[in-house]
Amino acid sequence: DTGVSQNPRHKITKRGQNVTFRCDPISEHNRLYWYRQTLGQGPEFLTYFQNEAQLEKSRLLSDRFSAERPKGSFSTLEIQRTEQGDSAMYLCASSLVGGRYSSYNEQFFGPGTRLTVL
Amino acid sequence: GIQVEQSPPDLILQEGANSTLRCNFSDSVNNLQWFHQNPWGQLINLFYIPSGTKQNGRLSATTVATERYSLLYISSSQTTDSGVYFCAAPGGDNYGQNFVFGPGTRLSVLP
């Protein structure tokens, strides 16, 4: 068990460019979450997957953002036409949840990808 | 959705001192986590504690779900305890599926 990994760890891009981040969850975890954290704030939820299905998207997730988890393992988060306001730490988390009515949902976070938009 | 508050916002301690961090939440919860964010941004799991009390070395946590608060105790603090402590509770449009984080408590432990 190597934990949640994210790549790249840092990304600097110019406004208007597209960027893609990758998250590899803990193996066998069926849930994968994306959060965004700006300086001095707590993380804010963006979206989550149960296996390959994207089940919820936050209102924070504009049309320029898209996330996929094609085979229920790793996930990618793409930001199109980046803006300076997109500069933040993008965090990925994974968890293993049980039956439909199970409330257990301990999330484990990756090291994050720090995005700077110039 | 649920509101999560933390206090104090900032805390400065001398090494060896004890401290208590508080997390209040506006609605009943069926799980709650405490995290420590280190200077490199990594969120480290401290406790998964929907109710009751847990201890792990110098750290312990108590959640009283009926009164909607959780406490994190740090005893004999060390400089490596410095960082930001977050609590997080389920919230959002689909109850229990994602976390709402508090604003954090920034802890500085001085040698």
Fill in the DSSP letter of residue B9: S
Q: A56 vs B104: CB contact, 8 Å cut-off?
A: no
Residues A56-106: tens digit of each pLDDT:
888 888 899 999 999 889 999 999 999 999 999 999 999 998 766 566 788
With 60 as the cut, is the pLDDT of residue B97 above it? Answer: yes
Provide the pLDDT confidence category of residue B1 given band limits of 50, 70 and 90.
confident
Among B99, B100, B106, the residue to mutate for chain A (most A Cβ within 10 A) = B99
Contact B64, B53 (CB under 8 A): no
pLDDT, mean over chain A: 92
**B93 vs A: CB within 8 A:** yes
Residue type at B53 in one-letter notation: T
- Helix, strand and coil in chain A, % to nearest 5: 5, 45, 50
pLDDT, mean over chain B: 92
Contact B10, B105 (CB under 8 A): yes
Note the Cα B2 to chain centre separation in Å.
Answer: 16
End-to-end CA, chain A? 36
Residues B22-69: tens digit of each pLDDT:
999 998 888 899 999 998 899 999 999 999 999 999 999 999 999 999
3-state secondary structure string across A59-110: CCCCCCEEEECCCCCCEEEEECCCCHHHCEEEEEEEECCCCCCCCCCCCEEC
| Minimal Cβ distance to A42: which of B48, B96, B101 | B101
Among A11, A23, A91, A105, the residue to mutate for chain B (most B Cβ within 10 A) = A105
Query: Which residue on chain A is closest to B48 by alpha carbon?
Result: A106
**A13 vs B: CB within 8 A:** no
| Minimal Cβ distance to A56: which of B90, B97, B100 | B97
| Minimal Cβ distance to A45: which of B50, B98, B104 | B98
Query: Residue B39, by phi and psi: left (phi above 0), alpha (psi -120 to 50) or beta?
Result: alpha
Nearest to A55 by CA among B33, B4, B96: B96
Provide the pLDDT confidence category of residue A34 given band limits of 50, 70 and 90.
very high
